[in-house]
Amino acid sequence: MLILLGVALVVVGFAVGFNPLLVVVVSALVTGMAAGHTPLEVLATFGKAFNQNRNISVVFLVLPVIGVLERAGLQERARSLIAGFRTISIARLLIGYLGFRQLTAALGLISIAGQAQTIRPLVAPMAEAAVEARVGPIDEPRRQAIRAMTAATDNVGVFFGEDIFLAIGSILLMVGFLSQSGIVLEPLQLSVWAIPTAIAAFAIHGGRIILFGRRQDRPTP
């Protein structure tokens, strides 16, 4: 019955209003020690559980870190960095990011960048600063348009780049679906034919970025 002490601690801790994470950790330690485990064994169990579920846990770790960095002035530092380079236009910045996103996605590194990881805290402020360095302060509609194009660039890059990677879910889904219809294909065959699509997507969206950049380089009326 001693192992039920952990449940009692959870109830009391939540009722009193203690930190939920602290309550859960203490109750887990008490439960483990009541079951005859040493503190090191309980800690090892925590580590094993974290390692087995790290794909989920990392998400909850990354988001607070990004929030703290933004509060500490990450966006402002990104803006000031780009503002110091007068030759960097928004078109060059976004086309470079598009190529980077496609290449990394083609290698399976989808989570290396994204809306939360890079667009909001880094790329969007840098794109805004690139425009402001040329035309001066920008109004809110133009700022929102820049952010939308930056987010769209990330989506296009990862969407058309990930299909080149052999072990991506979309490729495996198509292989399974085609095999059920009697069409046997290897993942490599689909990946190879995804390359022309990715090149076309880069060219088309790159052209859209160039036209968008020309419009943004005009002073606000």
* Pair 11, 110 in one domain: no
DSSP class per residue in 131-161: HHHHH-S--HHHHHHHHHHHHHHHHHHHHHH
Least confidently predicted of 67-71, 155-159, 175-179, 205-209: 67-71
**DSSP for 111-125?**
GGS-IIIIIIIIIHH
Instruction: Specify the 3-state DSSP secondary structure of 5.
Output: helix
Q: 116 and 173 share a domain?
A: yes
Whether 62 is covered by a domain: the verdict is: no
The tally of domains found in the chain comes to 2
Dihedral pair phi/psi, residue 160, rounded to 5°: -90, -10
Q: Are residues 29 and 95 in the same domain?
A: no
CA distance 43 to 167: 34
Q: Which of 208, 216, 205, 188 is nearest to 99 (CA)?
A: 205
Residue 69 lies in a domain: no
More reliable by pLDDT, 80 or 179: 179
pTM above 0.75, yes or no: no
Q: Report H helices in 168-186.
A: 169-180
Domain match, 91 and 188 both: yes
Percent share of the chain, pLDDT over 90: 23
Q: What is the mean pLDDT of residues 187-195?
A: 84
pLDDT digits (tens, 9 = 90+) for 25-34: 788 888 888 8
Instruction: Kindly report, residue by residue over 88-115, the tens digit of the pLDDT.
Output: 789 999 999 999 999 999 888 888 888 8
Whether residue 153 contacts residue 205, with contact meaning beta carbons closer than 8 Å, is answered with yes
Length of the chain (residues): 221
Residue 19 within any structural domain of the chain: yes
Residue 57 lies in a domain: no
Contact 135, 217 (CB under 8 A): yes
Higher-pLDDT residue of 12, 2 = 12
The predicted-structure confidence for 32-65, as pLDDT tens digits, reads as follows 888 888 878 877 777 776 666 555 555 556 666 6
Structural domain of 35: 2-47
